[in-house]
Amino acid sequence: MATWRDLVAFVKSEYQVIKEEADEIRLLFEFDDERSQVIVLAREVLDNRYEWVQIASPIGLVSRVDLAAFLAEVGRSTVAGGAAVMGEHLVIRHSLPLENLDINEFVDPLSLIAGSADLLEEQFFGRDDY
């Protein structure tokens, strides 16, 4: 995989896309227990020449969580990615360079972000809103 276009083509063939824009694609990552997680893939360009993909998954509103407890749990349990505040939402996210990216270098972090976000959403919000 070498470009954003290549990644989008792969994602469309393998996942349930729920929204697509020029530099962003959203998909629904479904689990066996009937829970699901929204994943946002966004194209980022560094120094006007290096394409990266940001994998982000919203968990809940930052105003409704004990942020210190949440960050401590992320520090203990999340293998890939970290927590961030994007607008009013708390997200788990991870970024990868697209140049020379092997498929497993994308699929594995995508699965880890989705799984971590779903577990944290259930633990801290008790719902499956995202």
Pairing of strands 36-46, 24-30: antiparallel
* pLDDT of 33 above 70: yes
Q: Tell me: the pLDDT tens digits for 4-26?
A: 999 999 999 999 999 999 999 99
User: How is residue 122 written in tokens?
Assistant: 């259930």
d(CA 25, CA 82) in angstroms, rounded, equals: 20
* Residue 130 domain-assigned (yes or no): no
* Residue 120 domain-assigned (yes or no): yes
* Residue 12 domain-assigned (yes or no): yes
Q: Which domain holds residue 117?
A: 4-125
Q: Tell me: the pLDDT tens digits for 38-82?
A: 999 999 998 888 999 999 999 999 999 999 999 999 988 877 788
CATH number, domain containing residue 8: 3.30.1460.10
Residue 15's alpha-carbon distances to 41, 42, 86, in angstroms, are: 12, 15, 24
d(CA 60, CA 12) in angstroms, rounded, equals: 26
* Residue 23 domain-assigned (yes or no): yes
Model pTM score: 0.90
How many domains does the chain fold into? 1
